[in-house]
Chain A
Amino acid sequence: MANLKQVLKEIQSQDAGDWYKATQEAGPLGPEAVKPLADLMKLDDRTKGRAAKLSLQAVVHTAATPGNEEQKKAVAIELLKFASITSYPRSVRSDLLYWVGMVGGPQQVPGLARLLNDRIIREDARMALERIPGDESLQALQKAAASGPTDFRKNLAQSLHNRALTQETVGIKSPAGTA
């Protein structure tokens, strides 16, 4: 099984085969891989950045394998930590938040709620909260919709609408055609 150092070296190689190899080996690396891979996602070299992104994606999905709860939680913590760093490029923060939506839980809700005030990334934070099931994320959306920035409340109302959808009601809109 590859280690983190090996995967990082493969991503920064000049050999396209090594980039692909990295994406196949990265899955089991766990939370300690999040920061270095997120850093490589910032590279100006789009191809290496892509290899880093696909590698981190594999880390996330492997961590979310059923029965892997502890690793999933640890990865979610790291993802949100770096998504909150404003010096990271928007595209990287967006990807990190997308993955938080996949693996995050109640522990990530306060951090995501804070990011609803970050004008650059708030839409991604909103969508992550929308995807994370449970009362905590729902209450965070409700609170932000009631008291958050005025220009963002309709976005949050949309998330609340979506959270309320059921198998029976999805696709059937109110007579006014609104949420």
Chain B
Amino acid sequence: MSQNRKLTRRRFLQSSAVAGAAAGISFPTIIPSNVLAQQGRPGANDRIVVGMIGVGGRGGGHVQDIHARGLPIAAICDVDSNHALNAARHVGRNPFLTKDYRQLLERRDIDAVVISTPDHWHAIMMIDACQAGKDVYTEKPTCRTLQECQGMINAAEYYKRVVQVGSQGRSEGAARQCAEYVRNGQVGKVNYVDVWHPVNFNIVNQNMQQDSPPPASLDWEQWLGPARWRPYNKGIHPFNFRWLMDIGGGFIRDRGNHVLSCVFWAMDADKTGPVSVEATGRRAERGIWDTPVTMEVKWEFKNPDWTVTWQQPGRTRPLPGVFEGPGPKICDWGAEFQGDRGSVILWHGDSADVELKAKQYTPPANGVHLFRSPGHMQNWLDCIKTREEPIMPIRSGAAVIVLPIIANISFLLGRKLQFDPTTRTFVGDEEANRMLADPYRYPWHV
């Protein structure tokens, strides 16, 4: 860099302080990360500089986690300024704040981003982040459509980015124990995996039925982004977007991700997919939410032949021998693997637990031993430096999300659907195939 163009810290602070003072904002120092290490990735001894996109709810938890690890959070993006300011106060050091994630991605000082927005943003943000040279931790569910799945896979591979999907079950010891128990044949050939879950939220608050102007802190247009336009409603943001079919897709696509991810891991099914899906359910009688409150789904797999069912609600299971002290003894959501030699129950899918017999099982030396993750976020951070694939890469995230996506399509269309897991298209159903992709509002696209 020539002397004329050299930006000294003092000059930067002087010029930005003037501009910032006029606007009542102070600016952080920006040191491009490629000054510290090879371009495109942090050096082995360098701290990873992180940008956070979506910092309410789960995203707020990630802010605390990243901050507690001593990693610098250089920028925060949220369309709700209350969320952004709360996160910034927690972090201190005046991170760059914006409502537009593209401004965050433009920053050369950021190595990696954590995406914790509502689901309809995950794909486009992840793809743009990969193109901008950032490694990505993207919350579950992976995405909303099968086209988005493919786009995310392509982006991660083409731009050679380390991407972790936030289905943290695979980093849980109990889920690993369950998977090793199953993969080493302890239940025999698995014919049937029964997954159950509490019902989707049902409207109880009459105030949630009326549209209204959005609060001053929220940029509703930016919140919607690529999704179909709808007026603001208190029943949507925060949190309750989950009960809108085209945004959150219900628990099956939300927490279902966690338990289905563990099911796929145990069944070594990431490279496969179902050949059919049939979903039924019952919606609430009133309110703006349109996901089914109760739901039943059946996915069939071939070669080998096995079936997964989803019941919402399902039959809760007791967990014999799991807990020795006080605490819940009933499994309110999870999966039961039923084989021709026995069965095993996995509790939940994020903070997982499993029957004692699986905890006490040790695979033989020549058996299947699965990776022992140091923790989902830590695994991602480690892989950013080693450039290895993390425990829940985008291909796995895509394989898992296929299940709830096609289940919701089956529910919407009111019929059983045949599916080709290789092409990830429906067989003989044009309307279903028109739902493989969703046109975005301008200017958003993958």
Identify which of B154, B285, B412, B439 gathers the most chain A CB atoms within 10 Å of its CB.
B439
Q: How large is the interface on B (under 10, 10 to 19, 20 to 34, 35 or more residues)?
A: 35 or more
Question: Which residues of the other chain, A, contact B128 by a CB distance below 8 angstroms?
Answer: 173, 177
| 30 A-B interface contacts by CB (under 8 A) | A19-B285, A47-B287, A50-B287, A54-B290, A57-B412, A58-B414, A61-B413, A62-B414, A66-B430, A91-B231, A94-B229, A98-B228, A101-B434, A101-B439, A123-B442, A127-B439, A131-B437, A133-B434, A155-B442, A158-B443, A159-B439, A162-B445, A167-B150, A170-B147, A171-B150, A171-B152, A171-B155, A171-B446, A173-B127, A173-B131
A-B pairs, 8 with minimum CB distance: A171-B151, A127-B439, A64-B431, A171-B154, A16-B285, A171-B155, A170-B151, A155-B442
Nearest CB of B to A94, in Å: 7
A17 to B285, CA, bound (A): 7
A contact face: mostly helix, strand, loop, or mixed: helix
Binary B-proximity of A43-69 (CB < 8 A = 1, otherwise 0): 000110011001001100110111000
Q: Which single member of B155, B228, B439 contacts A94 (CB below 8 Å)?
A: B228
A177 to B443, CA, bound (A): 12
A136 to B355, CA, bound (A): 58
A154 to B130, CA, bound (A): 24
B431 touches A172 (CB 8 A): no
B contact face: mostly helix, strand, loop, or mixed: loop
Minimum CB distance partner of B156 in chain A: A171
Q: Which single member of A61, A94, A162, A171 contacts B127 (CB below 8 Å)?
A: A171
Known: A46-B209, A158-B443. A168 touches B283 (CB 8 A): no
Binary B-proximity of A122-162 (CB < 8 A = 1, otherwise 0): 01001100111100000000000000000000110011011
Q: Which single member of A102, A165, A171 contacts B158 (CB below 8 Å)?
A: A171
B285 touches A170 (CB 8 A): no
Question: Which residues of the other chain, B, contact A161 by a CB distance below 8 angstroms?
Answer: 445
Binary B-proximity of A82-115 (CB < 8 A = 1, otherwise 0): 0000000001001000100111000000000000
A27 contacts chain B at the CB level, 8 A cutoff: yes
B153 touches A23 (CB 8 A): no
B441 contacts chain A at the CB level, 8 A cutoff: yes
Binary A-proximity of B418-441 (CB < 8 A = 1, otherwise 0): 000000000011110011010111
Nearest CB of A to B104, in Å: 14
Known: A66-B429, A94-B229. A20 touches B285 (CB 8 A): yes
Question: Which residues of the other chain, B, contact A167 by a CB distance below 8 angstroms?
Answer: 150
B387 contacts chain A at the CB level, 8 A cutoff: no
Nearest CB of B to A11, in Å: 12
Q: B interface vs A, CB < 8 Å?
A: 127-128, 130-131, 147, 150-155, 158, 209-210, 228-231, 282-283, 285-288, 290, 412-415, 428-431, 434-435, 437, 439-443, 445-446
Question: Which residues of the other chain, B, contact A162 by a CB distance below 8 angstroms?
Answer: 437, 439-440, 445
B155 touches A172 (CB 8 A): yes
Identify which of B285, B290, B413 gathers the most chain A CB atoms within 10 Å of its CB.
B285
Question: Which residues of the other chain, A, contact B287 by a CB distance below 8 angstroms?
Answer: 47, 50
A179 contacts chain B at the CB level, 8 A cutoff: yes
A177 touches B229 (CB 8 A): no
A interface size (C-beta, 8 A): 47
A130 to B434, CA, bound (A): 10
Question: Which residues of the other chain, B, contact A133 by a CB distance below 8 angstroms?
Answer: 434
Question: Which residues of the other chain, B, contact A126 by a CB distance below 8 angstroms?
Answer: 439, 442
A102 to B127, CA, bound (A): 26
B413 touches A64 (CB 8 A): yes
A16 to B435, CA, bound (A): 30
A47 to B210, CA, bound (A): 10
Nearest CB of B to A138, in Å: 14
Question: Which residues of the other chain, A, contact B230 by a CB distance below 8 angstroms?
Answer: 91
Question: Which residues of the other chain, B, contact A58 by a CB distance below 8 angstroms?
Answer: 414
B431 touches A103 (CB 8 A): yes
Known: A17-B285, A155-B443, A170-B147. 11 other contacts (CB 8 A): A47-B209, A51-B285, A91-B231, A102-B435, A103-B431, A126-B442, A131-B434, A158-B445, A162-B437, A171-B152, A177-B128
Question: Which residues of the other chain, A, contact B437 by a CB distance below 8 angstroms?
Answer: 131, 162
A46 to B344, CA, bound (A): 46
Minimum CB distance partner of A162 in chain B: B445
A173 to B413, CA, bound (A): 33
Question: Which residues of the other chain, A, contact B412 by a CB distance below 8 angstroms?
Answer: 57, 61
A61 touches B434 (CB 8 A): no
Minimum CB distance partner of B154 in chain A: A171
A94 to B382, CA, bound (A): 47
Question: Which residues of the other chain, A, contact B286 by a CB distance below 8 angstroms?
Answer: 16, 19, 47, 50
Nearest CB of B to A83, in Å: 14
B283 touches A169 (CB 8 A): no
Identify which of B282, B290, B437, B442 gathers the most chain A CB atoms within 10 Å of its CB.
B442
Minimum CB distance partner of A58 in chain B: B414
Question: Which residues of the other chain, B, contact A165 by a CB distance below 8 angstroms?
Answer: 147, 446
Q: Which single member of A62, A98, A132, A170 contacts B150 (CB below 8 Å)?
A: A170
Nearest CB of A to B129, in Å: 11
Nearest CB of A to B145, in Å: 11
A177 touches B131 (CB 8 A): yes
Nearest CB of B to A177, in Å: 6
Using a CB-CB cutoff of 8 Å, which residues 11-58 of chain A contact chain B? Answer: 16-17, 19-20, 23, 27, 46-47, 50-51, 54, 57-58
